[in-house]
Amino acid sequence: MSHVDAGLTGYKTLQIEPYNPLIGATVHGVDLANATDETLRTELRRALAEFQVLFFRAQSLTPEKQLEAARIFGNPDKAKAFFPRLEGHTSVEKIESGTGMSYKKVADQWHTDITWSSNPPTGTILFGQTIPASGGDTLWASATRAYDLLSPALQTYVETLQALHSFEPSGWPDAFLARENGEALYAQARAANQPVLHPVVRTHPITGRKILYVNPEFTTKIKGLERKESDALLILLFAQFEKPEVQARLRWEQNTVAIWDNRATQHRAVPDFTGARLLHRVTFGEDNAFPQGA
């Protein structure tokens, strides 16, 4: 059953246009800078759980308003990733390419944000500031659909497993080393962020759906398997996210907002653009993604 069949009923305040049959929706008629109505906020939370990634066009968000919008879904004030912060805003990250330091290569593999932490964010809100004339799209893939499309015998097996996650295989080591004082920054990041174990299959606390929780950017090893066995199984599991039917691809416009459920999805940027690209990112709910550890 697609989410088009499952959802769309019972929304009083949201106009929802499904994006793809298995993931994503564009939400019309909502001004995220003034989303104070409680029914609206409840429906936004429901839509995020149901559609996994929501797109909003033509928004007008100051950094304060972006933080307020994030608060609809969770607390945005906890520790973050390694991106530079917007001046004066410790919780707003700048994902910037094309001028000075370039972050074109740190998000160009499928990943769930910050799974190298034991408390990854519940979700993320990304706001398009400077958008290339063409290219620089972002793709999302549904980790619940990725799980659903495994054969039942493999589902049963992978549910018994745990995997290690680390920022080491990602673009971050090179990004650190390219900075002034890079070796010290890299050593500091390693010391503060030892690899962590997560279950390979998690359960979404709102929808109860099973999530395939491994990603090629941060998952390094399946606990208890030989290296070759682990590599082979991870390649097979990562391939689930390459299936076009589980994906949605966003063509950014200036002032587009994307909000995703960071438990139920992976995403990646497409590094095919030239020139400047700037997105403001706020992650939220770093204390609450999987309240029962599921």
Question: Beta strands of the chain (E only): which ranges?
Answer: 15-18, 25-28, 53-56, 85-86, 89-97, 123-130, 138-142, 162-165, 196-199, 201-203, 210-212, 219-222, 247-250, 257-261, 265-269, 277-284
267 is catalytic: yes
Radius of gyration of the chain (CA): 18
CA atoms within 13 A on the CB side of 236: 14
Q: Are 255 and 58 in contact (CB under 8 A)?
A: yes
**Rounded to 5 degrees, what angle do the CA atoms 83, 84, 88 make?**
135
Tell me which of 111, 145, 165, 204 is the catalytic residue: 111
Catalytic site includes residue 227: no
281 touches ligand SIN by CB under 6 A: yes
**92 part of the interface to ligand SIN, by CB under 6 A:** no
For the bound state, the minimum distance from the C-beta of residue 106 to ligand SIN, rounded and expressed in Å, comes to 8
Does 257 participate in binding ligand SIN (rule CB under 6 A)?
A: no
Least CB distance from residue 268 to ligand SIN, whole Å? 7
165 is catalytic: no
Catalytic residue among 3, 263, 277, 281: 281
Applying CB under 6 A, the site for ligand SIN has a residue count of 9
* 269 near ligand SIN (CB under 6 A): yes
Residue 138 in the binding site for ligand SIN (CB under 6 A): yes
Minimum separation from the CB atom of position 269 to ligand SIN (A): 3
Q: Of these, 107, 146, 175, 246, which contacts ligand SIN (CB under 6 A)?
A: 107
Task: Report yes or no: 76 and 230 within 8 Å, Cβ to Cβ.
Answer: no
Question: What is the binding site for ligand SIN (CB under 6 A)?
Answer: 95, 107, 113, 124, 138, 267, 269, 279, 281
Catalytic residue ranges: 111, 113, 267, 281
